[in-house]
């Protein structure tokens, strides 16, 4: 399994290098695959939602991938296949599903909330049970994960059932940082890493299913549930079970462990424990405070650094030196704080994440120095 984890690490690095400012989305997609859950990407057109998915699907040998753009005029045939005319003549209503969603390992449905009720009702069974009722047959679907995308959140009540089935939810946006924007424009082609096989993915999934959940983890999640409830955030039992049985074990496996370490694995919960977009920042704060305070502090420092750098980049020419000098001072102080956390230590993966954050602040510092001081 170690070799497979190494391959996954290479795939992660490749995707995060190729798609700037999409680190969390890449982590979410890899986690969704191992956890066997579904993921929703909400963002404007052209924010690399489909490009990342296509790139990832191409790095898994033996993977059947299905992609479709949905509209209110889409028909079930487009997703589930046409009726078999030969069987239809004998009164059998069976579809030819080859190459369609019921036979795919990964599905990508663009503008999923624009689908009509005929599609959504059939889709719920495939999503929920990995089953497609084809005439009188009950066909088991090999679907590992479904990626749904939309430009906006669903408002209609009838769409909430579909929205709830997406365990992970992300909001990719356009590239913000100037340095990353330039890298995106000038980026040369990057050699793709060695793919993993479908069999290797299934070994990872099996390893996740074997991870034991101890009492300490259960107690921590009970406290987390109470914290969320105090803020009026209530989640279904199904979602909590998926967190414990699928999401956290998948994070542990991807880190090369056979056990869950909450302070290492909890960050993914920020994208799983809210039902309304307005709850996101509250959930992030509660999860980090309860399960990984250091990660919470570093995330705040990184966000502050981005704000400082972006404001400095917008300074007028006559103010650039003064604003840039002050920004550089603040960014250096932020780096010092992050480096103090690194010195304090932690597990190898935690220290590595802290170093990544320090590297991001260093990039911001270089960008401000170059833009404002011309150095």
pLDDT given for residue 230 in this prediction:
94
pLDDT given for residue 92 in this prediction:
85
pLDDT given for residue 353 in this prediction:
78
Angle between helices 2-18 and 23-35 (to 10 degrees): 150
Structure tokens at 372: 């404002």
pLDDT given for residue 373 in this prediction:
87
Backbone angles phi, psi at 346, to 5 degrees: 155, -170
Contact (CB, 8 A) for 66 and 104: yes
N-terminal to C-terminal alpha carbon distance within the chain: 47
Distances (CA, A) of 342 to 277, 338, 339: 32, 6, 5
CATH of region 2-186, choose from 1.10.3720.10, 3.40.50.300, 3.20.20.10, 3.30.390.50: 3.40.50.300
Contact (CB, 8 A) for 195 and 48: no
Give the torsion through C-alpha atoms of 71, 171, 146, 30, to 10 deg.
150
144 Cβ contact partners less than 8 Å away, ≥ 6 residues apart: 33, 36, 105, 106, 201, 205
pLDDT given for residue 197 in this prediction:
95
pLDDT given for residue 349 in this prediction:
65
Angle between helices 280-291 and 215-230 (to 10 degrees): 140
Is residue 99 classed exposed, middle or buried when 0-12, 13-18 and 19+ CB atoms within 10 A define those classes?
Answer: exposed
Contact (CB, 8 A) for 305 and 360: yes
| Weakly modelled stretches of the chain, pLDDT under 50 | none
Return the sign of the alpha-carbon dihedral for residues 306, 31, 264, 247: positive
SS3 per residue for the chain: CHHHHHHHHHHHHHHHHHCCCCHHHHHHHHHHHHHCCCEEEECCCCCCHHHHHHHHHCCEECCCEEEEECCCCCCHHHHHCCECHHHHCCCCCCECCCCCHHHCCEEEEECHHHCCHHHHHHHHHHHHHCEEEECCEEEECCCCEEEEEECCCCCCHHHHHHHHCCCEEECCCCCCCHHHHHHHHHCCCCCCCCCEEHHHHHHHHHHHHCCCCCHHHHHHHHHHHHHHHHCCCCCCHHHHHHHHHHHHHHHHHHCCCCCCCHHHHHHHHHHCCCCCHHHHHHHHHHHHHHHCHHHHHHHHHHHHHHHHHHHHHCCCCCCHHHHHHHHHHHHHHHHHHHHHHHHHCCCHHHHHHHHHHHHHHHHHHHHHHHHHHCC
């Amino acid at each position: 399994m170690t070799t497979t984890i190494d391959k996954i690490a290479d795939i992660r690095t490749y995707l995060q290098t190729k798609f700037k400012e999409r680190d969390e989305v890449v982590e979410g997609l890899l986690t969704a695959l191992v956890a066997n859950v579904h993921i929703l990407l909400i963002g404007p057109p052209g924010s690399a939602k489909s490009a990342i998915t296509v790139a990832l699907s191409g790095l898994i040998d033996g993977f059947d991938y299905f992609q479709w753009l949905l509209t209110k005029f889409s028909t079930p045939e487009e997703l589930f296949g046409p009726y078999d005319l030969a069987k239809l003549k004998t009164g059998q209503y069976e579809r030819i599903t080859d190459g369609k969603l019921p036979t795919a390992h990964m599905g990508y449905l663009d503008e999923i909330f624009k689908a009509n009720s005929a599609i959504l009702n059939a889709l719920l069974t495939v999503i929920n049970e990995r089953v497609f009722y084809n005439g009188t047959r009950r066909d088991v679907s090999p679907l590992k994960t479904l990626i749904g995308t939309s430009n906006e959140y669903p408002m209609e009540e009838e769409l909430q059932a579909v929205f709830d089935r997406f365990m992970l939810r992300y909001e990719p946006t356009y590239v913000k940082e100037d340095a990353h924007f330039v890298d995106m424009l000038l980026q040369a082609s990057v050699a793709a890493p060695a793919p993993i096989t479908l069999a290797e993915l299934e070994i990872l999934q099996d390893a996740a299913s074997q991870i034991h959940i101890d009492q300490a983890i259960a107690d921590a999640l009970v406290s987390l549930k109470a914290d969320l409830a105090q803020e009026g955030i209530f989640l279904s039992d199904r979602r909590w079970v998926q967190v414990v049985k699928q999401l956290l074990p998948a994070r542990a496996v991807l880190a090369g462990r056979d056990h869950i370490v909450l302070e290492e694995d909890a960050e993914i919960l920020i994208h799983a424990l809210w039902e309304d977009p307005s709850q996101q920042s509250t959930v992030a704060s509660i999860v980090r405070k309860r399960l990984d305070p250091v990660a919470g502090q570093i995330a705040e420092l990184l966000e502050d650094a981005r704000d400082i750098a972006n404001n400095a980049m917008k300074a007028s020419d006559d103010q650039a030196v003064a604003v840039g000098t002050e920004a550089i001072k603040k960014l250096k102080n932020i780096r010092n704080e992050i480096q103090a956390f690194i010195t304090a230590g932690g597990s190898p993966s935690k220290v590595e994440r802290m170093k990544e954050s320090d590297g991001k602040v260093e990039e911001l510092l270089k960008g401000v120095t170059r833009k404002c001081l011309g150095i």
